[in-house]
Structure 1
Amino acid sequence: MIRIASYNIQKSIGVDGRRQPERTLKVLGELGCDIIALQEADRRFGARHSTLLPERLAEACGFHPVPLARHDGGLGWHGNAILVRDGICVRSHSCIDLPQLEPRGAVMADLEIDGRRLRVAATHLSLVGHFRQRQIERLMQILHPDEGSPPTVLVGDLNEWREEGRPLRAVSAHYTITNPGKSFPSPFPVASLDRIMTSADLPVLRSGVHRSATARIASDHLPVWADLDLPA
């Protein structure tokens, strides 16, 4: 069993308007995950440095970032980052350009866990429905399962409020969509913006929303998680 989470950390700015990376690290440590996908891990403007230092991720939580950053001081690509625990081998990784109005992208990593393969992709989709649809279509072209594909999980902040929205219909043609629960806004969540999508050979055993006291204030999103039955 592998536990994965997705968490929009809002650049470590909590709902109280204060930037406190240590608070974000506390939430990451609470999740008990093997893999965590982050959104808004890096600042959007200027040097685009991450609010989380890799050495603090290792010290506080035992996580290491997949080397996706294209600039010094960052963790990922357009704010998307993937963290893995010790013992997980990163076989390959890539950044994916998406059709965009505002800066958006996705990241992907092929991992090996106790001799088993897993492909992890993570994204943060547009606020604009037309671009959200085009972005999902692009991701499905890249991640479309074929005979040689490893078990695949796609996670992230989809910014899709409707359960029957067109972007989700485009995903459901290829993947099983898991809605762990309402995750936004964190103090009183009313929307399920964060989702977990898996290929047919990757069953979801359990899923949920992490609702600790720290998580309710550390970001405007709550983390979502799922336990996956990774096949041999």
Structure 2
Amino acid sequence: MTEGALRVLTYNVHGQRDDRAALAEVVRAVAADVVIVQEGPRRFGWRNRTANLARAFGAVLAVGGLPSLGNLILTDMRVHVHRTWTTRFPLTPGRHMRGAAFAECSVGRRRFTVAGTHLSLDAAERASQAELLRAELSAVRTPVVIGADVNETSGGAAWRTLADGLTDAAVAADATDRCTFPLHGPTGRIDGIFTDPRIEVVRYDVVDTPLTRRASDHFPVVADLIVPELPGT
């Protein structure tokens, strides 16, 4: 394996309301080092449900659940997790409360920080949430990887905020025509992976198989990356 190689999967799992066996098989088949989940457990019994989900995926929970309102970051045993934190975005009355999960990690000597989020259905609110997410990451010095259900395509303000100064993995792989939602008749790329420019995007894919069409209402997005070794790390 190439030194610094990292496979990242971002996946809205639709609250596990679809074929759970297919969902687990999809994630296990991707064999990602980092799995960023949207719509994971966030309410009653979330600890046990999150542990069961991680186990089904063959992964370990780094951070997430109720504190991040259903955003999860899971890892395999190659990844060392150094610190984690969560944030909640301000609640607009009558709307769905949302948040984000963060984990500073390493593979070997190469450090990076992962963020996962699921933004609002309202355009103005999600633009504000994207700005808050980027502000949360402004003090991070390690290369950043964001996995997100942005709930809009690349022409939107929130998407542009997330991508500002970062690499949209689909753009790097010349794969912007690969839609992620809705499952039947996909028309938009609303799920994305955004990386620090110091990270090399080797491969990008939207996984469209008979299993993924049973597992969720979104297609999973996967990217193979090379994380750089920075001076002093």
Verify: 1:109 aligned to 2:103, yes or no: yes
1:132 to 111, 123, 126: 126
- Residue 164 (structure 1) aligns with: 155
Please report how far the alpha carbon of residue 195 of structure 1 lies from its aligned counterpart in structure 2 after TM superposition.
Answer: 0.5
Moved over 6 A (4+): none
1:5 to 6, 9, 18: 9
CA distance in 2 between partners of 1:53 and 1:124 (Å): 17
CA contact (8 A) 2:63 2:74 kept: no
Please report how far the alpha carbon of residue 186 of structure 1 lies from its aligned counterpart in structure 2 after TM superposition.
Answer: 1.6
Verify: 1:187 aligned to 2:196, yes or no: no
Helix, strand or coil at the partner of 1:66: strand
CA RMSD of aligned residues (A): 2.1
The structure in which a higher percent of residues are helix is: 2
CA distance in 1 between partners of 2:211 and 2:228 (Å): 34
1:223 to 220, 225, 230: 220
CA distance in 2 between partners of 1:110 and 1:65 (Å): 13
Helix, strand or coil at the partner of 2:182: coil
Taking every aligned residue pair, what percent have the same amino acid on both sides? 29
- 1:113-143 superposed Cα distances (whole Å, 9 cap, x missing partner): 1121010000000000000110011111121
Q: Which amino acid letter does the alignment assign opposite residue 203 of structure 2?
A: R
Could you tell me which runs of 5 or more consecutive residues in structure 1 were left unpaired when the two chains were aligned.
15-19, 71-75
Q: TM-score, normalised by structure 1?
A: 0.85
CA distance in 2 between partners of 1:53 and 1:154 (Å): 20
- 1:19-68 superposed Cα distances (whole Å, 9 cap, x missing partner): x432221111121211110000115x5x153795525633x443011143
Q: Which amino acid letter does the alignment assign opposite residue 30 of structure 2?
A: L
CA contact (8 A) 2:69 2:88 kept: no
Q: TM-score, normalised by structure 2?
A: 0.85
Verify: 1:90 aligned to 2:81, yes or no: yes
Count of equivalent residues: 216
Higher mean C-alpha displacement, 120-129 vs 60-69: 60-69
- 1:171-215 superposed Cα distances (whole Å, 9 cap, x missing partner): 333212233521111232111110111112112111010112111
Q: Is the alpha carbon distance of 1:51 and 1:178 closer, same or farther for their aligned partners in structure 2, counting shifts above 3 Å?
A: farther
Helix, strand or coil at the partner of 1:185: coil
- Residue 38 (structure 2) aligns with: 39
CA distance in 2 between partners of 1:131 and 1:207 (Å): 29
